[in-house]
């Protein structure tokens, strides 16, 4: 069997090239395809994610005491104290 130039068409152009060039191009396309597939598969569970939550348990009474102390020390104004007190009471209803 004699090796001759082969003519093939793509979506964009028509090429007439030797058999070795076609084989090299096919090898490149296969490598690119394998790379894309392996990158996609590596995201399918390769890493385990953990979710950490922290909950702080305070009572309404403790929040009101803290607000009262902040108000008495001048850290918050009377308006802020009243607003925060209303929010705290609403949160625990």
Residue 52 lies in a domain: no
Rg (C-alpha) for the chain, rounded Å, is 35
Query: For the chain, what is the domain count?
Result: 2
Tell me what pLDDT residue 86 has: 95
Tell me what pLDDT residue 20 has: 55
Residue 55 lies in a domain: no
Cα–Cα dist 55/32, whole Å: 48
Residue 50 lies in a domain: no
Tell me what pLDDT residue 93 has: 81
Residue 23 lies in a domain: yes
Tell me what pLDDT residue 77 has: 95
Tell me what pLDDT residue 53 has: 83
Cα–Cα dist 34/28, whole Å: 10
Ranges under pLDDT 50 in the chain:
none
Residue 47 lies in a domain: no
Residue 49 lies in a domain: no
Tell me what pLDDT residue 67 has: 94
Cα–Cα dist 78/72, whole Å: 9
Q: Domain of 74? A: 60-91
Tell me what pLDDT residue 61 has: 92
């Amino acid at each position: 069997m004699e090796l001759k130039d082969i003519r093939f068409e793509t979506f964009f152009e028509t090429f007439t090239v030797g058999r070795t060039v076609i084989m090299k191009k096919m090898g490149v396309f296969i490598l690119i395809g394998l790379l894309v597939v392996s990158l996609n598969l590596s995201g399918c569970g390769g890493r385990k994610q953990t979710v950490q939550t922290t909950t702080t348990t305070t009572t309404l009474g403790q929040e009101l005491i803290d607000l009262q102390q902040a108000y008495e020390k001048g850290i918050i104004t009377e308006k802020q104290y009243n607003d925060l007190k209303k929010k705290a009471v609403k949160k625990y209803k």
